[in-house]
Structure 1
Amino acid sequence: MFGFLCSRQLLVLKHRRTHLGFLQQTGAFIVKSFTSVGSLVESNEKPEEEKHSFVVSYLINSCGLSAKSAILASRSVVFQNPEKPDSVLNFLKENGFSNAQITQIVRSHPLVLLAHPEKTLLPKIELIRSIGVSSSDLTTIIASNTLLFKTNLKKRLIPSYDFLKTVLVDEKVLTTFKRSPRAFLSDVTNTMAPNIALLRQLGAPLSTISIFVSNYPSTASINHARFVEAAHQVTEMGFDPLKTVFVLAIQALLKMSKPKLESRLELYKRWGWSRDMALAAFKRHPNCMVVSEENITKTMDFLVNKSGWPSTDVAANPQVIILSLEKRIIPRWSVVQILLAKGLVKNNLALGTFLLPSERVFLEKFVSRFRDDVPQLLKVYQGKMSASCSISV
Structure 2
Amino acid sequence: MFSLILHGRKSRVLHQWRNLKTPVINLLLPNASAFTNPFSSSSATTTSTDLSPEEERKRKTFTVSYLIDSLGLTTKLAESISTKANFSSTSNPDSVLKLLRSYGFKDTQISNIITTYPRFLIENPEKTLRAKLHFLKLNGSSSSEITEIVSKVPKILGRRGYVSLTGYFDYVKEILQDQDKSSSTKVKKQTNRTRNVSVLRELGVPKKLLLNLLISKAKPVCGKERFEESVKKIVEMGFDPSRPKFVNALYVFYELSDLTIEQKVNVYIRLGFSVDEVWATFKKWPFALKYSEKKIVQTFETLKRCGLNEDEVRMLLKKYPECVGTSEKKILKSVDTFLELGFTKDEYMMIIKRHPQCIGLAADTLKTKTEFFVKTMGWSKKVLASTPISLAFSLEKFIYPRCNVIKALLSKGLIDELPAISTVLTSPKLRFLKFYVMKHEDVFPELSSIFTGDCIPID
- TM-score range, shorter-chain basis? 0.5 to 0.7
Count of matched residue positions in the alignment of Structure 1 and Structure 2: 301
Picking from 301, 323, 327, the partner of 1:252 is 323
Post-superposition shift, 1:150? 4.1
Any conservation in 2 of the 1:296–1:321 contact (CA below 8 Å)? yes
Alignment partners' CA distance in 1, 2:303 and 2:266: 16
Deviates more, 1:158-167 or 1:327-336: 158-167
Partner in structure 2 of residue 385 of structure 1: 455
Whether 2:182 is the aligned partner of 1:93: answer no
Post-superposition shift, 1:353? 1.9
Picking from 253, 263, 274, the partner of 2:344 is 274
Partner in structure 2 of residue 175 of structure 1: 243
Partner in structure 2 of residue 153 of structure 1: 223
- State the SS of the aligned residue for 2:190: helix
Q: Deviations over 1:315-339 (max 9, x none)?
A: 1111111211111111110112233
Alignment partners' CA distance in 2, 1:245 and 1:293: 21
C-alpha change, 1:142 and 1:128, in structure 2 (3 Å) is same
Post-superposition shift, 1:251? 2.4
Picking from 179, 185, 189, the partner of 2:251 is 185
Any conservation in 1 of the 2:296–2:324 contact (CA below 8 Å)? no
Identity fraction in percent: 18
Q: Which amino acid aligns with 2:422?
A: G
Partner in structure 2 of residue 216 of structure 1: 285
Partner in structure 1 of residue 139 of structure 2: 59
Alignment partners' CA distance in 2, 1:375 and 1:205: 57
Alignment partners' CA distance in 2, 1:384 and 1:208: 49
Listed as ranges, the gaps of 5+ residues in structure 1 are 1-29, 31-54, 79-84, 98-115
Q: Deviations over 1:273-295 (max 9, x none)?
A: 22222122211211112101110
C-alpha change, 1:76 and 1:261, in structure 2 (3 Å) is closer
C-alpha change, 1:247 and 1:235, in structure 2 (3 Å) is farther
Q: Which amino acid aligns with 2:380?
A: P
Partner in structure 2 of residue 51 of structure 1: none
Q: Which amino acid aligns with 1:60?
A: G
Post-superposition shift, 1:365? 4.2
Alignment partners' CA distance in 1, 2:265 and 2:383: 36
Alignment partners' CA distance in 2, 1:166 and 1:197: 22
Post-superposition shift, 1:141? 2.8
Deviates more, 1:313-322 or 1:152-161: 152-161
Alignment partners' CA distance in 2, 1:88 and 1:252: 34
Whether 2:122 is the aligned partner of 1:122: answer no
Alignment partners' CA distance in 2, 1:93 and 1:170: 28
Any conservation in 2 of the 1:176–1:215 contact (CA below 8 Å)? no
Deviates more, 1:86-95 or 1:368-377: 86-95
Partner in structure 2 of residue 263 of structure 1: 333
Deviates more, 1:85-94 or 1:331-340: 85-94
- State the SS of the aligned residue for 1:60: coil
Q: Tell which structure's C-alpha radius of gyration is larger.
A: 1
Partner in structure 2 of residue 109 of structure 1: none
Whether 2:390 is the aligned partner of 1:324: answer no
Alignment partners' CA distance in 2, 1:274 and 1:59: 62
Any conservation in 2 of the 1:163–1:188 contact (CA below 8 Å)? no
Partner in structure 2 of residue 39 of structure 1: none
Any conservation in 2 of the 1:159–1:188 contact (CA below 8 Å)? no
Any conservation in 1 of the 2:355–2:388 contact (CA below 8 Å)? yes
Post-superposition shift, 1:229? 3.6
Partner in structure 1 of residue 77 of structure 2: none
Which structure has the highest helix share of the two? 1
Alignment partners' CA distance in 2, 1:365 and 1:176: 37
Partner in structure 1 of residue 419 of structure 2: 349
Q: Deviations over 1:333-355 (max 9, x none)?
A: 01122333445556252212221
C-alpha change, 1:170 and 1:89, in structure 2 (3 Å) is closer
TM-score w.r.t. length of structure 1: 0.61
RMSD of aligned residue pairs (Cα, Å): 4.3
Picking from 216, 235, 238, the partner of 2:309 is 238
Partner in structure 1 of residue 95 of structure 2: none
C-alpha change, 1:366 and 1:176, in structure 2 (3 Å) is farther
Whether 2:376 is the aligned partner of 1:296: answer no
Alignment partners' CA distance in 2, 1:385 and 1:94: 51
Indicate the structure whose relative CO is greater, using CA pairs within 8 Å and at least 6 residues apart: 2
Any conservation in 2 of the 1:203–1:242 contact (CA below 8 Å)? no
Q: Deviations over 1:18-69 (max 9, x none)?
A: xxxxxxxxxxxx9xxxxxxxxxxxxxxxxxxxxxxxx988723479569xx8
C-alpha change, 1:235 and 1:166, in structure 2 (3 Å) is farther
Q: Which amino acid aligns with 2:203?
A: I
C-alpha change, 1:285 and 1:368, in structure 2 (3 Å) is same
Q: Which amino acid aligns with 2:162?
A: A
Alignment partners' CA distance in 1, 2:261 and 2:440: 50
Partner in structure 1 of residue 234 of structure 2: 164
C-alpha change, 1:303 and 1:126, in structure 2 (3 Å) is same
